[in-house]
């Protein structure tokens, strides 16, 4: 009797994991949809972030396809501006959803703009 019990038990466990996983994803998706449903600014941020990810992947793929990283500083500048902008965007997004104590949303946006300008300035100089 015991082996039969075990056989039954295993598929149940696998199904459980799958179910849990799907449930977790569904939960995350629904909460995300809820989050951006009524907030255009968050949607705007996410679209911009997706674009940055795409540009970054595109440049890496370019280096891989031509098998040469010759103006390496140029590649670094192009890639770092994507990563940096993405990080700054995420910081802004965090502060919009969960504002820090003592920092208003508009102040956070101002800081984001200044930090981004410094990033652009640095990258433009780095690419020479």
Partner 1 sequence: MLGLRYIQLLLVLVCSILAAAKSAVGSRTLVVFDDRVDDLSTYSEFFNLLKDHEFDVTTLELSDKSTKINLFERDTRLYDHLILFPVKGKHYSKQLAAKKLIRFNEDGGNVLALTVPQVSSDPIHLYLNQLGIYPSPRTQSLHDLFQDSTDLLFSVEQLENEIVYSNSNEKQQDSFNFGESVSAALLDNREQIVPILQASKTSFTSGNKSREASWTDGSQGYVVAGFQNLKNARSTWIGSVQFLSNKHFKQNQDLINELISWTLQEKAVIKATEVNHRHSGDNQTSYDELPYKVTDNVTYTVSLTQWDGQKWVPYVSDDVQFELRQIDPYYRITMIPQGPSPQDPTSELYSTGSFKLPNRHGMFTFVTDYKRSGLSYVHEADVKAIRHLANDEYPRSYEISNAWVYLASIATVIISFIAFVLFFISTPASLSEGVSTEKKTN
Establish if 77 lies at the interface with partner 1 (CB under 8 A).
yes
Closer by beta carbon to partner 1, 1 or else 66: 66
Establish if 32 lies at the interface with partner 1 (CB under 8 A).
no
* Residue 38 DSSP one-character state: T
Establish if 85 lies at the interface with partner 1 (CB under 8 A).
yes
Establish if 87 lies at the interface with partner 1 (CB under 8 A).
no
Establish if 108 lies at the interface with partner 1 (CB under 8 A).
no
Q: What is the rounded distance in angstroms from the CA atom of residue 96 to the CA atom of residue 109?
A: 9
Closer by beta carbon to partner 1, 2 or else 65: 65
**What's CA 10's distance to the chain center, in Å?**
36
Binding residues for partner 1 restricted to 6-25, rule: CB under 8 A: none
Tracing tokens 């910081």 back to the chain, one arrives at: 91
45 close to 93: Cβ distance less than 8 angstroms: yes
Q: What are the backbone angles phi and psi of residue 114, rounded to the nearest 5°?
A: -65, -45
Closest distance to partner 1 from the beta carbon of 39 (Å): 5
């Amino acid at each position: 009797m015991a082996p039969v019990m075990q056989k039954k038990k295993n598929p149940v466990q696998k199904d459980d994991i799958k179910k849990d996983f799907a449930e977790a994803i569904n939960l995350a998706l629904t909460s995300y949809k809820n989050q951006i449903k009524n907030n255009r600014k968050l949607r705007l941020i996410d679209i911009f972030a997706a674009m940055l990810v795409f540009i970054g992947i595109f440049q890496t793929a370019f280096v891989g396809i031509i098998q040469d990283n010759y103006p390496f500083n140029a590649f670094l500048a192009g890639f770092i501006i994507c990563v940096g902008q993405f990080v700054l965007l995420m910081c802004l997004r965090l502060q919009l959803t969960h504002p820090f104590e003592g920092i208003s949303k508009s102040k956070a946006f101002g800081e984001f703009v200044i930090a981004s300008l410094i990033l652009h300035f640095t990258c433009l100089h780095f690419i020479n």
